[in-house]
Amino acid sequence: MRTLSTAKTIPEFFAKIEEITRDGGYRGIAANLMMADTSGNIAYQMAVPMRRRKDETPYLGCRVLDGKTTQFDWTDEVVPLKELPRTINPKKGYLSNANNRQVPDHAKKDYGATTMSTARAVRIDELIKEGIAAGRKFTAEDMIAIQQDTVDVFARRMVPTVTKIAEFAKAELTKEQ
């Protein structure tokens, strides 16, 4: 693996890791890799040692499979890294990851289909978009502030409704009968 540390650019990194894992697939720890190089490239790679199933129907991870048939059995082949979720220089100009979904909803091979956008990921995206709209050039301090942000976007949406329900219930419960 020392070979990977000599890569100078993201495309070079991908070429080297694909060469290293070509014959046996990726056999390391499961990880979300976020990268940047001095040429201005950014990238994401899901790295997980995942065996291929006989039936490669998308969304296999989202449902119970029939164990009475061999149709859904694992094979000996490990899915190559180049087939796992990967993004290089996305159109939106940035990457973020908070254990959220990284592939489109209708990906041909949807490894990680059970993963959805987390409230944390939605909030990070929100903060980055706000900064871009304001013309901000992000600093290390901005990244620390994003990391320490405690706003829960799902709770922000729910609190007004829950508050109204609680106020209604309180009024109903305190009425004289």
Poorest-pLDDT segment among 35-49, 53-67, 125-139: 53-67
Q: Which residue has the higher pLDDT, 110 or 6?
A: 6
Task: Give the structural domain span for 75.
Answer: 1-116
What pLDDT, on a 0 to 100 scale, did the predictor assign at position 169? Answer: 92
Query: Does residue 23 belong to any structural domain of this protein?
Result: yes
43-84 tens-digit pLDDT = 998 888 888 888 776 555 566 778 898 888 888 888 888 888
Query: Does residue 149 belong to any structural domain of this protein?
Result: no
What pLDDT, on a 0 to 100 scale, did the predictor assign at position 142? Answer: 96
Q: Which residue has the higher pLDDT, 1 or 28?
A: 28
Poorest-pLDDT segment among 22-26, 32-36, 140-144: 22-26
Query: Does residue 100 belong to any structural domain of this protein?
Result: yes
Please give the tally of structural domains in the chain.
Answer: 1
Q: What's this model's pTM, rounded to 2 decimal places?
A: 0.75
* pLDDT class of 24 with cuts at 50, 70, 90: confident
Query: Does residue 35 belong to any structural domain of this protein?
Result: yes
Q: Is the pLDDT of residue 41 over 90?
A: yes
Q: How far apart are CA 119 and CA 152, in angstroms?
A: 6
Q: What is the DSSP string of 75-107?
A: EEEEPPGGGS-EEES-TTS----SS---S-TT-
Query: Does residue 66 belong to any structural domain of this protein?
Result: yes
Query: Does residue 166 belong to any structural domain of this protein?
Result: no
Query: Does residue 43 belong to any structural domain of this protein?
Result: yes
* pLDDT class of 116 with cuts at 50, 70, 90: low
Q: What is the CATH number of the domain that holds 42?
A: 3.60.20.10
Query: Does residue 110 belong to any structural domain of this protein?
Result: yes
What pLDDT, on a 0 to 100 scale, did the predictor assign at position 40? Answer: 94
SS (H, E, C) 109-140: CCCCCCCCCCHHHHHHHHHHHHHHHCCCCCCH
Q: Is the pLDDT of residue 167 over 60?
A: yes
